[in-house]
Amino acid sequence: MITLRTKSPDDTRALAAEMAPLSGPGDIVVLAGDLGAGKTVFAQGFGKGLGVAEPITSPTFTLVRAYEAPVPLLHLDVYRLDHLQELIDLGLAELLDSGRVALIEWGDLVTPALPADFLEVRLEMVEADDERLLRIRSVGAEWSSRLTAIHRAVERWTVEC
Ligand code: ADP
Ligand code: MG
């Protein structure tokens, strides 16, 4: 587990942009954390890091948005889904198989419908309004070997604890 601290929305975007180049087609990043924790802000920075030129907006109502870039991005928000079945009906398996990096807001609520390997980024609000703690962990073997490289990329945000 890697623990990081950011001091502003732009700081979170900068951190996410550093992580993005370490991901590739087919990768899944689950964004966990309460409403307003910064999942969409993280996605904005991550998309920029992938080379997405257009503005990234919350997919809360559309459920899924796709962005073109050298490594294209799929951005999902599954908060409004009532049943796992809706995610399956949406064609999640095919979407994830589309050669994109997938960021899934609230993905921690639907892990039974997800592949076994993903990176989880959990954002937590703290006392200071503009600060966030980010806890990064790998689920499944695929990402665990890449944690060291990720850690190196985001070293300047590391919190000792
Ligand atoms: P979520 O998608 O998790 O519901 P959003 O990313 O839409 O949350 O919103 C996060 C809110 O928190 C934004 O209003 C943003 O400006 C604010 N914020 C304050 N500090 C931070 C920070 N360090 N990182 C990310 N967002 C922050
Ligand atoms: Mg959001």
Which of 97, 17, 92, 93 lies closest to 52, judged by CA? 17
Question: What is the distance between the alpha carbons of residues 149 and 161, in angstroms, rounded to a whole number?
Answer: 19
Binding pocket residue ranges, ligand 1, CB within 6 Å? 6, 8-9, 11-12, 33, 35-41, 58, 105, 130-132
pLDDT tens profile 92-108: 888 888 899 999 999 99
Q: Of the ligands numbered here, which is closest to the C-alpha atom of 129?
A: 1
Task: Give how far the C-alpha of residue 35 lies from the chain's centroid of Cα atoms, to the nearest Å.
Answer: 14
C-alpha dist (Å) from residue 106 to 26, 32, 101, 160:
18, 5, 16, 26
> What does the mean pLDDT of the chain come to?
93
pTM: 0.96
- Residue 161's pLDDT band, with cuts at 50, 70 and 90, is low
Nearest residue (by CA) to ligand 1, atom 6, is 38
Higher pLDDT, 85 or 136: 136
- Residue 86's pLDDT band, with cuts at 50, 70 and 90, is confident
Q: What is the average pLDDT across 140-161?
A: 92
* pLDDT score, position 80: 84
- Residue 68's pLDDT band, with cuts at 50, 70 and 90, is very high
CA 78 to ligand 2 centroid distance, Å: 10
Q: Cα dihedral angle (79, 34, 144, 146), rounded to 10 degrees?
A: 90
Lowest-confidence pick of 40-44, 60-64, 117-121: 60-64
Nearest residue (by CA) to ligand 1, atom 27, is 9
Q: Residue 70 corresponds to which amino acid?
A: P
Question: What is the distance between the alpha carbons of residues 92 and 136, in angstroms, rounded to a whole number?
Answer: 23
3-state SS, one letter per residue, for the chain: CEEEEECCHHHHHHHHHHHHHHCCCCCEEEEECCCCCCHHHHHHHHHHHHCCCCCCCCCCCCCEEEECCCCCEEEEECCCCCCHHHHHHCCHHHHHCCCCEEEEECHHHHHHHCCCCEEEEEEEECCCCCCEEEEEEEECHHHHCCHHHHHHHCHHHECCC
Which ligand 1 atom sits nearest the alpha carbon of residue 131? Answer: 23
Which residue among 40, 41, 129, 159 is best mutated to probe the pocket of ligand 1, counting the most ligand atoms within 8 A of its Cβ?
41
